[in-house]
Structure 1
């Protein structure tokens, strides 16, 4: 599912190289199985972001995804926080990637959403939809938090939810999040940095998600790997804490 490759790139830190691919990005949207409304949302996102100042886009990206935990693109952040369960979940997910033939050629946390989407894009449409369904509850929380900030990144998550085929009760998620305190304020960030940060491997916190992670040529495309997420059939965001939904 090539549209997942595009959304993966759009969720990475924006670069000059990405801006040169505007025409290709628009073409991938037009060829995608998304509804007309979702396609238009993605096209509007591409037009606005690609036509603006790159440094402004980079600053906005940092403010959204690198400041605080509520919009973290690390999926297990929203399931386990900094508990010890997160470390084991990382190991299990990496083993599941390997069982499907995935080779990660950069130091990368396996639960980083762009990497996960890159992986799903190689697994065939049906398996990709299943993989998205398994994290639909997380995607819905991120979507609603971006809505609260009136941020157009929300269209990327809306598209992912449509591709998952899961009918999410977004009004319920919005209700749960309406009184949530933002964790990207100076006071909230100071409190976070007082705590000891958990890492997974040397230099992991310093490694951004570059566009160099690609599946190997031998990666199996017909093998669905059931990942250890919470039950996506449950109401999304059943428990919401400041910066963490599970």
Structure 2
């Protein structure tokens, strides 16, 4: 299992099946392509996750990635928000996947970061690095926000940034993240609900609209396969 695929597996919602692959995941974290420091960081994250009760790990994942939008793993959330451009971006990304024989399941969203990493795991290294460079700013900001929230997931984003180019100033992004208002507090969630709970329009949503509810979890078993 490559480092990209491993990070995708570890970033995904931690299904119960994840714990069945402990030895494989820990072996992948020792990839010699990583620096000794990052091998240690990745191994420590994997062990920490796998030493955690699944219910607690799942609750922590939901608290970080499914509460508010700042830590969303849907990449276009950070680029297009709820604009109509997001629908076309989804279509274009699906087309890029299909061009290389990568088909999505019915409920999979193409801009979900763990899914993109699974795709990049199948592409040549230079091509994968080019894709990562295009999303490096988003991933770097996710790294900064996760660090600001004292989440161990920060290291996964940092390794992705380093895999892309390593040239981002994560310190500057961390300062930016520290100045952002939190969107995962009960007060912020209440405000968001008040804004979105009732929204009337003259037209029904078209088929290109992206769901705004909780992300459908993907199959961990599929991901962990070599």
**What is the TM-score with the length of structure 2 in the denominator?**
0.87
Aligned with 1:209 (options 193, 196, 218): 218
Q: Is the 8 A contact 1:105 1:212 kept in 2?
A: no
Q: In 1, Cα distance between the equivalents of 2:221 and 2:86?
A: 25
Local SS of the residue matching 1:14: coil
Match of 1:234 in 2: none
For 1:24 and 1:39, the matched residues in 2 are separated by 15
Relative to structure 1, the CA distance from residue 194 to residue 204 in structure 2 (aligned partners, 3 Å threshold; closer, same or farther) is closer
1:186 match: 186
Q: How many angstroms apart in 2 are the aligned matches of 1:32 and 1:195?
A: 49
Is 1:167 aligned with 2:162?
no
CA contact 1:12–1:210 (8 Å) conserved in 2:
no
Equivalence map 1:63-102=2 (5 Å)? 63-102=63-102
Structure 1: runs of 5 or more not aligned: 215-246
For 2:46 and 2:147, locate their aligned partners in 1 and report how far apart those are by CA, in whole Å.
18
Q: Kindly tell me: are residues 51 and 168 of structure 1, through their superposed partners in 2, closer, same or farther at Cα, counting changes over 3 Å?
A: same
CA contact (8 A) 1:108 1:204 kept: no
Q: How does 1:109-188 map to 2 (within 5 A)?
A: 109-188=109-188
Query: Any unmatched runs of 5+ in structure 2?
Result: 198-204
Does 2:114 align with 1:105?
no
Measure how far apart 1:213 and its partner are: 6.2
Deviations 1:12-45 (A, max 9, x none): 1112211121111111122251111111111111
Distance 1:67 1:96 in 2: 30
2:201 maps to what in 1?
Answer: none
What's the CA shift for 1:201?
A: 6.1
Equivalent residues, number: 214
Which residue in 2 is equivalent to 1:41?
41
Taking structure 1 as reference, are residues 125 and 13 closer, same or farther at Cα in structure 2, changes over 3 Å only?
Answer: same
Q: Tell me which protein shows more helix as a share of its residues.
A: 2
